[in-house]
Each structure stands twice: as structure tokens, then as C-alpha cells.
């Protein structure tokens, strides 16, 4: 199986490296980023997205958002111009489910299969090959690609038809954003009430209030350390896709909309590149107190 890998940014780069390390014959391409280091590891390359598709059986894309995926696959000199029947395109970007379905239908018209397979876990887990990968698409293509995806992730789950991977990712991002907002409101209130936040953390983390977000983010908040991790601006993108999807389906998500406004306020305050745990900064600013050790 020959694999073409398009998109060599913070996430795509270590994911491609893990495929090379696993012995896959890889061709890499990025219209905008440099990728000499990946070629130096033994990867082939190509001169366009179209050529990547023409020269490989499987084409993986890892790009920032829906417009970039649509440009790389459906645009001029795009994947769709080089594709042919029997090939499989796997988009591992986190994009709007509606965009996944649009791309999937266009590829199906050329006889190619499509999987949307967004990931969760960020750069550290991309490097370690331990991402959680949520896949939408047909069972046959999933079975074919599963061994490849398992080189990049420790959890690879087929969740439904095309678009379902990104729906699942949006559900994930809603929960994460709201769980960060939850600990933010709780800890800012406790701090303003004069209770040591370290003791609050110790007292409640083992009970029903416990969460992976609490364990991962409260220590960062207590240290005033907002180094990403996962950047606020990426969470803005994901929640915009969640709100667009919810509105298209007439699903009211009032708390998601509210936390999106919180993220927008952080952007105004120059925190777009900070970790999303900076949500607490919004509340700290309002209450004029910091939740610190």
C-alpha cells in the first residue's frame, strides 16, 4: 500500500513520521509548509495535491479547517483531479461534518472512498502515536485503513457514516470546553470566598466532580501556566463548527454558545495562542482575583 500524506503542520508532521517509522512507503506534500526533514527520512514527494492522489493508493490529509480541506481535495490541482476508482482518501483534520460529507460525495462520484477521521490528543500524542481517532465512513475502508491509523493512534473507533467522526469530535470539544468553564466558575468562586484552591482541588477531584479536565488543567491554573497544550484559537474553530452544525440541525446549545463568547473574549485579550485552560482568565478578570497556589 502506498500512502500520500498532505499537510505537514504541527500535527501532520509527527503523524507522517510515525508512518515512515512503521515502514510504510510514504509520499508527502504541503502546499504551504516546508517538509525537507520528512523527505530526508526517506519519504517521496510530489509537486501538487493532484499528483499525490495520482501516485498513491491511500491519501491522508491533515489540515487546519474545512476550507483548507475543500481546497486541497476539491480545488484546482486538488486530490480529486488525480483520484481514480478504488482509492481511499482519509481526512484526519477536525472540520465541519457537513464539509466531510460534501468532500465524501464528490470523491464517491469518482469511485473513490472517503473516511473522516479526526483526532484528539494534541501534539504530544501525535508524537507518541497515541491519538484517539474517531472515524466516519464505510466498514470496508475502515478495515483496510485500521492498521495504518493504529500507527498514529492508540484508540481507533468507527463511529458511523461519513461525517460521524467529526460529529464525535465536536461532541468531545463541547464537553472539554464546558468542563474547563465548570472548573473555572467553581475555583474562582472558592478563591474569592477565601478558600485555598489547592485544598478544594484535593477535596473534590476524587468525587463526582472529578474529570480528566480537572486533573489536567487545574494544576496548570494553580501554576498560572497557560502554555499550550491545545490553543484557544483551535477551540474557537471547533466550537464555531459545533455551533454551525447545531444551528443547521436546530439543536439549541446555549452553554456551548456562552463558552464560545468566553473564548472570543480571550482572543480580544491576546490569549488566542494560550492553552484553552485560559478560560479561567476570563472569570479571574471579571472577579478581580487569581486562582493560584
Binding positions for its own copies, rule: CB under 8 A = 97, 120-121, 132, 134, 155, 157-161, 163-164, 167-168, 170-176, 178-179, 181-183, 185-190, 192-196, 199-200, 202-204, 206-214, 216, 242, 245-246, 249-256, 258-259, 283, 286-287
* CB of 49 or CB of 256, closer to its own copies: 256
Retrieve residue 15's grid coordinates. 503523524
Candidates 125, 169, 217, 237; catalytic one? 169
Give Cβ neighbours of residue 133 (< 8 Å, ≥ 6 apart): 92, 117, 118, 119, 149, 152, 153, 155, 156, 157, 165
Q: How many residues are there in the chain?
A: 293
**Helical H segments across 34-135, by residue range:** 36-40, 49-55, 66-74, 79-82, 97-108, 122-128
Calpha distance 34→25 (Å, rounded): 20
Give Cβ neighbours of residue 220 (< 8 Å, ≥ 6 apart): 226, 229, 275, 277
Active site residue 108: no
- For residue 212, the minimal CB distance to its own copies (Å) is 4
CB 19 within 8 A of CB 5: yes
* CB of 111 or CB of 210, closer to its own copies: 210
Closest by alpha carbon to 90, among 81, 77, 103?
A: 103
* CB of 38 or CB of 190, closer to its own copies: 190
- For residue 190, the minimal CB distance to its own copies (Å) is 5
Retrieve residue 251's grid coordinates. 439543536
Retrieve residue 201's grid coordinates. 482541588
* CB of 79 or CB of 117, closer to its own copies: 117
Calpha distance 180→277 (Å, rounded): 6
- For residue 11, the minimal CB distance to its own copies (Å) is 15
* CB of 226 or CB of 283, closer to its own copies: 283
- For residue 149, the minimal CB distance to its own copies (Å) is 13
Closest by alpha carbon to 258, among 178, 191, 188, 199?
A: 178
Calpha distance 187→204 (Å, rounded): 11
- For residue 34, the minimal CB distance to its own copies (Å) is 30
Q: How far from the centroid of its chain's Cα atoms is residue 214's Cα?
A: 20
- For residue 247, the minimal CB distance to its own copies (Å) is 11
* CB of 22 or CB of 189, closer to its own copies: 189
Catalytic residues: 169
Amino acid at each position: 500500500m502506498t500512502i500520500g500524506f498532505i499537510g505537514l503542520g504541527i500535527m501532520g508532521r509527527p503523524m507522517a513520521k510515525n508512518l515512515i517509522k512503521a515502514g510504510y512507503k510514504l509520499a508527502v506534500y504541503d502546499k504551504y509548509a516546508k517538509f525537507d526533514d520528512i523527505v530526508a527520512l526517506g519519504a517521496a514527494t510530489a509537486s501538487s495535491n493532484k499528483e499525490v492522489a495520482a501516485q498513491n493508493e491511500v491519501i491522508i490529509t491533515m489540515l487546519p479547517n474545512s476550507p483548507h480541506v475543500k481546497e486541497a481535495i476539491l480545488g484546482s490541482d486538488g486530490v480529486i483531479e488525480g483520484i481514480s476508482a478504488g482509492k481511499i482518501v482519509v481526512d484526519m483534520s477536525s472540520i465541519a461534518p457537513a464539509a466531510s460529507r460534501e468532500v465524501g460525495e464528490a470523491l464517491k462520484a469518482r469511485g473513490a472512498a472517503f473516511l473522516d477521521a479526526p483526532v484528539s490528543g494534541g501534539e504530544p500524542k501525535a508524537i507518541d502515536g497515541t491519538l484517539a481517532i474517531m472515524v466516519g465512513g464505510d466498514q470496508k475502508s475502515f478495515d483496510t485503513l485500521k492498521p495504518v491509523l493504529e500507527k498514529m493512534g492508540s484508540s481507533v473507533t468507527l463511529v458511523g457514516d461519513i461525517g460521524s467522526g467529526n460529529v464525535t469530535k465536536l461532541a468531545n470539544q463541547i464537553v472539554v470546553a464546558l468542563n474547563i468553564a465548570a472548573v473555572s466558575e467553581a475555583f474562582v468562586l472558592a478563591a474569592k470566598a477565601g478558600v485555598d484552591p489547592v485544598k478544594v482541588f484535593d477535596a473534590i477531584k476524587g468525587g463526582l466532580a472529578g474529570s480528566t479536565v480537572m486533573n489536567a488543567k487545574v494544576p496548570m491554573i494553580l501554576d498560572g501556566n497557560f502554555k499550550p497544550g491545545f490553543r484557544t484559537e483551535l477551540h474557537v474553530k471547533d466550537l464555531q463548527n459545533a455551533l454551525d452544525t447545531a444551528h443547521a440541525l436546530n439543536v439549541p446549545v446555549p452553554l456551548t454558545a456562552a463558552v464560545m463568547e468566553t473564548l472570543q473574549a480571550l482572543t480580544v485579550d491576546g490569549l488566542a495562542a494560550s492553552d484553552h485552560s485560559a478560560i479561567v482568565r476570563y472569570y479571574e478578570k471579571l472577579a478581580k482575583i487569581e486562582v493560584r497556589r
